[in-house]
Amino acid sequence: MWLGLILAMAGSGVVAYVVARVVEAAAQSRGAARARRRAEDLRALMRDLEELSERCAAEADARAAALQHLIAAADQRLAELEASAAAPPGPPGALAPPGPGVCEPVVLAGRDRPDPALDQVYQLAEQGLSPLQIAKHLGRPPGQVELILALRRG
């Protein structure tokens, strides 16, 4: 009887060991699958980051080229202004001819009176409103209102 009990206990120990190994192997395979999924996710993330960095570099290059163009145009305009400042003045009351890039005044046919919108801007400014308040009140861009007021002062 003791021998049967010992064999039963040994058998149940072997079964328990085998079940524990099967459970451990299943857990490892789930862990391995999880690790594979994480590795795939990391590879996808790296591809996305590389694509994003390439797009950012291309945009930065385009902006740098645009800035270089603007700097060259500003340098050219500065040289023109310096040349015109160094030129001898003409007779009193004479206007200098417009240089390249300078707009001629535009005369609109059929416009005998000033624009009523300008009058609105002037009236609101005389009432003490700021350019920003005038722009909001009239539904115009603030820069436009500031330009209208600056031209009036100038």
Residue-number span of the structural domain to which 46 is assigned: 1-85
**Structure tokens given for 16:** 């328990």
Tokens 């040289």 belong to 79
Q: Residue 133: inside a domain, yes or no? A: yes
Q: Residue 129: inside a domain, yes or no? A: yes
Would you place residue 3 in the very low, low, confident or very high pLDDT band (cuts 50, 70, 90)?
Answer: low
Q: Residue 96: inside a domain, yes or no? A: no
Q: Residue 151: inside a domain, yes or no? A: yes
| 77-81-85 Cα angle (round to 5) | 170
| 125-129-130 Cα angle (round to 5) | 95
Kindly state whether residues 58 and 134 are assigned to the same domain: no
pTM for the structure as a whole: 0.36
Q: Is the dihedral of CA 60, 65, 69, 71 positive or negative?
A: positive
pLDDT in tens, 58-103: 787 888 888 888 888 888 988 888 887 777 665 555 555 555 544 4
Last residue of a domain, one of 85, 107, 136: 85
**Structure tokens given for 152:** 């009036």
Q: Residue 93: inside a domain, yes or no? A: no
Q: Average pLDDT, whole number, for the chain?
A: 74
Asked if residue 47 has pLDDT above 60, the reply is: yes
Domain count, the chain: 2
CA dihedral 3, 5, 8, 9 (to 10 degrees): -110
8-12, 73-77, 117-121: least confident range: 8-12
In angstroms, the CA 119 to CA 81 distance is 33
